[in-house]
């Protein structure tokens, strides 16, 4: 070990973020293993001075008159060259020439150091991911698998895989581009830390609004609920805690600038911003936007079910394409919604 090794460790810390102290600890363990393999003795003291770029290894040996174990014992006359006052039965530290560790010991040391680097990188990666847990992050698309469509992304210094199932609609990711992803969860696996990332999770839209709308970030406007069918449509319910601030207007922004930025990030996904209300009937009516609602009648049994009446010409608008508008409104409010036209369905009166 010399100053060049300490310089290499400093470079490792700079480039890979692995602390020098972490690697020095691993190197010390490697030296202990090398002593055990070479001398059958792991009772040693290791002094490292990174400032001077030097280190010393002292192997503890018992002072004897006749040696039976070369690795653990030392003759009295040799011991007194180290410490003139020592006697039989005492322990002295014998400084080792680490070059004499031998090929096997050196290989063991190298393997432990490599493992230390891997452990350090895993620790750094886990820390990188955990600091971004349930957060919106910007990621660089490194490569896209042409067969599966899965994308390998670089988040900080760590890699994560975005499966095709977690991508928005038919979006085409290109290598070298930057995209926003939501870190759903972080798991420690046998192959190292793994981040579960997504672009279809409802909280991705929530985090995008927090980033784009200062009133949400500072708590003036609160996002109460989000329902989403990724790549197609999202409904978001917002509430203002300041009577002078319009929650929906704040989210839309001047000339629609704020919501447009989010729509662009999501590849054209439609976003309905509605006002939240503690009154279920009012909230349900808002949630069915852009359709007009004439009345909301809750079920008499107290369940979260209701019948909504809309103008005859707006029934299809309220239900939406393949039932999407009604489905998202139900998910947003937590209510089961039955929609009927103002004039009623054909034959409805006769059935009564």
Is residue 286 within 8 Å of 275, Cβ to Cβ?
Answer: yes
Instruction: Look at the pTM and tell me if it is higher than 0.85.
Output: no
Between residues 208 and 351, which one has the greater pLDDT?
A: 208
Q: What angle do CA 260, 262, 263 make, to 5 degrees?
A: 65
Structure tokens at 217: 């970030």
Q: Can you give the length of the chain in residues? A: 352
Distance from C-alpha of 10 to C-alpha of 14, rounded to nearest angstrom: 6
Of the candidates 165, 169, 195, 171, the one whose C-alpha atom is nearest the C-alpha of residue 182 is 195
Of the candidates 347, 329, 331, the one whose C-alpha atom is nearest the C-alpha of residue 293 is 329
Q: Say yes or no to pLDDT of 347 above 60.
A: no
In this predicted structure, what is the pLDDT of residue 125?
Answer: 64
pLDDT, one tens digit per residue, over 94-122 is: 988 766 654 544 565 566 667 666 666 66
In this predicted structure, what is the pLDDT of residue 153?
Answer: 92
pLDDT, one tens digit per residue, over 31-52 is: 888 788 888 898 999 887 777 7
pLDDT, one tens digit per residue, over 147-187 is: 999 999 988 777 889 999 999 877 889 999 999 999 888 77
Structure tokens at 90: 């005492």
């Amino acid at each position: 070990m010399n100053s060049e090794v300490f310089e290499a460790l400093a470079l490792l810390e700079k480039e890979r973020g692995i602390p020098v102290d972490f690697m020095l600890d691993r190197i010390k363990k490697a030296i202990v293993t090398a002593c055990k393999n070479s001398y059958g003795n792991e009772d040693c003291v290791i002094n490292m001075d990174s400032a001077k770029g030097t280190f010393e290894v002292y192997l503890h040996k018992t002072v004897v008159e006749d040696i039976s174990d070369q690795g653990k014992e030392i003759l009295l006359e040799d011991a007194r060259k180290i410490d003139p006052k020592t006697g039989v039965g005492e322990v002295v530290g014998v400084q080792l020439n680490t070059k004499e560790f031998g090929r096997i010991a050196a290989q063991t040391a190298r393997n432990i150091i490599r493992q230390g680097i891997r452990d350090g990188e895993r620790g750094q990666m886990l820390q990188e991911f955990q600091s971004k847990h349930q957060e919106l992050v910007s990621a660089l698309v490194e490569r896209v698998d042409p067969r599966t469509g899965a994308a390998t992304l670089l988040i900080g210094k760590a890699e994560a895989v975005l499966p095709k199932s977690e991508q928005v609609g038919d979006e085409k990711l290109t290598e070298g581009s930057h995209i926003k992803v939501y870190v759903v969860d972080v798991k420690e696996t046998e192959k190292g830390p793994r981040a579960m990332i997504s672009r279809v999770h409802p909280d991705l839209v929530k985090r995008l609004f927090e980033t784009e709308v200062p009133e949400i970030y500072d708590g003036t406007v609160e996002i109460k609920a989000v329902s989403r069918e990724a790549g197609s449509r999202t409904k978001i319910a917002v509430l203002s805690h300041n009577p002078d601030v319009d929650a929906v207007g704040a989210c839309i922004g001047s000339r629609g600038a704020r919501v447009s930025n989010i729509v662009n990030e999501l590849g054209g996904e439609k976003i309905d911003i509605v006002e939240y209300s503690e009154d279920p009937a009012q909230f349900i009516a808002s949630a069915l936007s852009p359709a007009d609602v004439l009345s909301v009648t809750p079920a008499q049994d107290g369940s979260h079910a209701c019948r909504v009446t809309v103008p005859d010409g707006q029934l299809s608008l309220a239900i939406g394409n393949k039932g999407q508008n009604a489905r998202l409104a139900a998910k947003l409010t937590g209510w089961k919604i039955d929609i009927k036209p103002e004039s009623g369905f054909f034959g409805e009166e006769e059935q009564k």
